[in-house]
């Protein structure tokens, strides 16, 4: 990097990130490294000379480079984490990233599947296959999709799910979420049944000698299921273009539409802040307005 690498202490920052997921650690390290390079070229070779104006100029620069809004939001989150860490370490006297937002990230609501689209995704699986291996993958895909919607899991949580985290008799699962926080979630009977069928009938067919014995879901080569595998499952089965996270959004919105308390939904989704969960109230409000406009006699 162009700046004083020792002054930025990126290796130490990376060590502090160990409680985060591997994906978050890689992204945050790369994001802060990229900012340090940019800041050095802009005349700020060390963290102590960075102020809020410099940070806002950087986010504006990212916008001009046509980064996706979600990417800019993640980079802003990385900078908030980094400068908060710097403040606690005494590297900077004031945190310039405190309450730092990102331009242009508001206004986009989570995509939510309609009831018809959801039913087609969950109930419209392929006909039974002629080979035992093909039939096993149908059972796996059924269980994966049902569980994503039943528990509102992040894809990383589903892929990391171990057999010890299943209590199918009690219809609960235990997952490890962000920040290594464990939470136990209920699932409905159909989901528990599909998980049981996959484990009893499908998984033994797919498993290989080197397969991880603790992993609930396996891919086509017998390894633990990965995020790309999950994306391919959704792409094969969905009647409309969507992504795995849409099932999480849909579950949260349907719970709120059905009268669930916001804090219950927060707990199920594993959100650290209620503010993160509140975006789903906007989705439900949009749906309320749509139903009102379509059904009220004078609307």
pLDDT tens-place string over residues 163-221 = 999 999 999 999 988 877 889 999 999 999 999 999 999 999 999 999 999 999 999 99
Q: Which tens digits make up the pLDDT trace of 45-68?
A: 999 999 988 998 898 888 878 788
Catalytic residue among 75, 140, 203, 245: 245
Domain containing 75 equals: 5-89
Q: Which tens digits make up the pLDDT trace of 23-37?
A: 889 999 999 999 999
Say if residue 9 is in the same domain as residue 157.
no
Say if residue 41 is in the same domain as residue 127.
no
Write the CATH number for 20: 1.10.150
pLDDT at residue 2, rounded to an integer? 43
Establish whether 248 is a catalytic residue: yes
In a domain, 103, yes or no: no
Say if residue 82 is in the same domain as residue 128.
no
Say if residue 81 is in the same domain as residue 138.
no
Domains: count for the chain: 2
Mean pLDDT of the chain: 86
Establish whether 249 is a catalytic residue: no
Catalytic residue among 140, 154, 203, 249: 154
In a domain, 216, yes or no: yes
Say if residue 121 is in the same domain as residue 78.
no
Say if residue 120 is in the same domain as residue 236.
yes
In a domain, 298, yes or no: no
Say if residue 27 is in the same domain as residue 143.
no
Establish whether 65 is a catalytic residue: no
Say if residue 122 is in the same domain as residue 34.
no
Closest CA to 206 of 140, 146, 251: 140
Say if residue 148 is in the same domain as residue 259.
yes
Catalytic residue among 52, 178, 197, 243: 178
Catalytic residue among 75, 80, 237, 271: 271
Q: Which of 28, 55, 89 is the last residue of a domain?
A: 89
How many Cβ atoms sit within 10 Å of the Cβ of residue 43? 8
In a domain, 49, yes or no: yes
Query: What backbone torsions phi and psi does residue 61 show, to the nearest 5 degrees?
Result: -60, -45
In a domain, 100, yes or no: no
- Evaluate if residue 105 carries a pLDDT over 60: no
Q: Which of 55, 89, 123 is the last residue of a domain?
A: 89
Write the CATH number for 135: 1.10.443.10
Say if residue 125 is in the same domain as residue 273.
yes
Residue 283: pLDDT band with limits 50, 70, 90: low
Residue 299: pLDDT band with limits 50, 70, 90: very low
Establish whether 154 is a catalytic residue: yes
pLDDT at residue 284, rounded to an integer? 65
Establish whether 254 is a catalytic residue: no
In a domain, 52, yes or no: yes
In a domain, 157, yes or no: yes
In a domain, 79, yes or no: yes
Pick the more confident residue, 216 or 251.
216
Say if residue 177 is in the same domain as residue 251.
yes
Say if residue 24 is in the same domain as residue 168.
no
Establish whether 271 is a catalytic residue: yes
């Amino acid at each position: 990097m162009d700046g004083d690498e020792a002054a930025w202490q990126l290796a130490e920052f990376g060590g502090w990130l160990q409680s985060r997921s591997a994906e978050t650690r890689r992204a945050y390290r790369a994001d802060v490294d990229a900012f340090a390079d940019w800041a050095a070229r802009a005349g700020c070779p060390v963290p102590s000379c960075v102020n809020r104006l410099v940070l806002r100029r950087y986010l504006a620069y990212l916008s001009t480079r046509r980064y996706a809004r979600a990417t800019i939001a993640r980079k802003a989150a990385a900078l908030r984490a980094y400068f908060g860490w710097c403040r606690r370490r005494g590297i900077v006297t004031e945190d310039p990233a405190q309450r730092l937002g990102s331009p242009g990230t508001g206004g986009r609501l989570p995509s939510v599947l309609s009831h018809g689209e959801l039913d087609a995704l969950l109930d419209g699986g392929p006909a039974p296959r002629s080979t035992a291996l093909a039939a096993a993958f149908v059972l796996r895909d059924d269980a994966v999709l049902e569980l994503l919607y039943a528990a509102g899991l992040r894809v990383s949580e589903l892929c990391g799910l171990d057999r010890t985290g299943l209590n199918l008799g009690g219809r609960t699962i235990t997952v490890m979420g962000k920040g290594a926080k464990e939470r136990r979630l209920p699932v409905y009977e159909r989901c528990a049944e599909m998980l049981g069928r996959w484990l009893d009938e499908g998984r033994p067919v797919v498993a290989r000698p080197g397969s991880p014995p603790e992993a609930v879901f396996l891919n086509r080569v017998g390894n633990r299921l990965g995020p790309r595998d999950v994306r391919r499952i959704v792409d094969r089965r969905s009647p409309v273009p969507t992504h795995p996270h849409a099932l999480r959004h849909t579950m949260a919105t349907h719970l709120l539409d059905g009268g669930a308390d916001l804090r219950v939904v927060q707990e199920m989704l594993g959100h650290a802040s209620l503010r993160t969960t509140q975006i789903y109230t906007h989705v439900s409000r949009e749906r309320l307005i749509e139903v009102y406009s379509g059904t009220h006699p004078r609307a």
